[in-house]
Chain A
Amino acid sequence: MINLRDKGAEIWEKANRPQRVIMAICFIAMAASLPFMGGTILNTPIADYESVLVFPVAMFVLMAIGLNIVIGKSGLLDLGYVAFFAIGAYTMGLLGTRTSLNTWEILPIGIAMAMFSGIILGVPALKLRGDYLAIITLGFGEIVRIVALNLGTLGRSEGILGIPTPPPVFGIEFTFDSHRIYYWTLLIIILLAIWMVRRLSVRRAGRAWESIRQDEDAAELMGVPTFKYKVWAFVLGASVGGAAGVFYASKTLFIAPDNFTLQISILILACVVFGGMGNIWGVIAGAVILGYLPDRIRFLSDARLLVFGLVLVIMMNLRPDGLLPRKKREKALPSKEKS
């Protein structure tokens, strides 16, 4: 099977700077024009196409990018990622309905809250590894949901109603059904997240995470402060999840504990694994497909989840490393080394 990832990387590496800028602009333009494709084959029967683009597609992409920092880059299995999404959403819900702060002002607060909870969870949990870490994060995800279900201020099972939409920016109104505007705003947040991850990947933090993922003991013995970088991975992953949560609450206007079940954590994890752990483009592709597919095949009604599951099983058998796996290829060898 051809390796799409290597093909892509080859084209990118051969390109000079202006060519890269053009490629990036084309890519962004393509992503930005998606809401206009409603009349084509991309249209989702039954579900509102533009609304599907916002949630789940763009939301999944953003969360998958965040989770990829934790799982793909640093190799820490986090099964409770939805907790950060929920914390962002409830921060928005609570502050949006009780104070006069608007979405843009709450966004940094929501991110900060998610990061802070990332520390709260990370510091005790990251002393453990592998399966034990997975179990603790799983528990954390449930704790957050159950707290929301039982705390009066958070509305118990009724959740929070009447969360305000974002105020206009440069005269652009965010109304309940202006899906395109939400989509483009999310696209900007996604681009920021991509920038952050790519920037970190090639520097010290990226190397530290990579070394932790591959051999944590060796990393520690080579002077990498492993614990610190693991907490950082958690906190950065949480920040992206928190941002997604704030925006989600401000879009749907209503949140309840049912929106934040374990299933979301697992779906996002599936996006990361399906797309290719550790490779941001793969993860994005995975999230787009897994977010979009269930709505595209909605006409199958009850059979759609069966088909969805089948696609997952077949794909993971054909490409166990994901759609676009992480770097396997090397730069061209000096000719004398070729043997």
Chain B
Amino acid sequence: MTIKEESYRLSNLKTLEAESISIIREVAAEFENPVMLYSVGKDSSVMAHLAIKAFYPKKVPFPLLHIDTGYKFPEMYAFRDYYTKMHNLDLKVHRNEEALKKGISPLSVGTVKCCAELKTKALLDALKEGGYDAAFGGARRDEEKSRAKERIYSFRDKHGQWNPKDQKPELWNLFNSKIDPGESIRVFPLSNWTELDIWTYIYHEKIEIVPLYFAKKRPVIEKYGQLIPVYTDEHEEETKEVMCRFRTLGCHYCTGAVRSEADTLPKIIEEMMVARHSERITRIIDQDQDSSMEQKKKEGYF
């Protein structure tokens, strides 16, 4: 490395940041009606933060869309409203009200059907209703095997479906944005980040995240080897107070906490470095079918 190269060196995180900002701007420039999927989780916080950075000092020029299953943790709703207001973000919320009225929940129909109705269908309906031609998602390639093969621009047919065998080649940083009317793309600006990058970035940039990520004594019951938080008096006998935190956030029925003492970001990062379980293990939905994520993605799920 020459002296010149050494003095103009960009760190790993700054390189990833620049790449993501570039992708976000490219989509804003080339698509008519983009939207950013906002799940309220830590990756969403990072993605929203990158969007704010991309268009600073102006406002983010597209809305954020929360697909709300109605079963998220109360802390998530509180954080969502606080965060989007604080950063002057245009928040849209969509729920499959019809399914909720029918009383669909993992308890009544099982996780596979529940996800199909409240997540996948709700998402596809929301994208169709909004007429969005591009939707940002916070998925990373290191999360799960089928995601490791996804492009940054991921094409979806008129029914929102993904065909992993017919992906367009993606070279350099030149993205093909040509689609026919009715088709859309999903864009993953965090593709090349790892879980560790996300956490160190949150730490360096002082990005706010839902407090559920930090360890705290919480009332939980133990089920399928996972800690399920309790918000009512229903299971009083089984409920116990455990120092725990959430590695990912989903619906309260299907997201378990893990025992942890990590109540600060450096402690979380340290815990991560020795973690021997990938973060999605606390999501019950990934384990309910062989290749379950690939199946969901083909059907239209992020």
Is chain B found bound to chain A in the same assembly? no
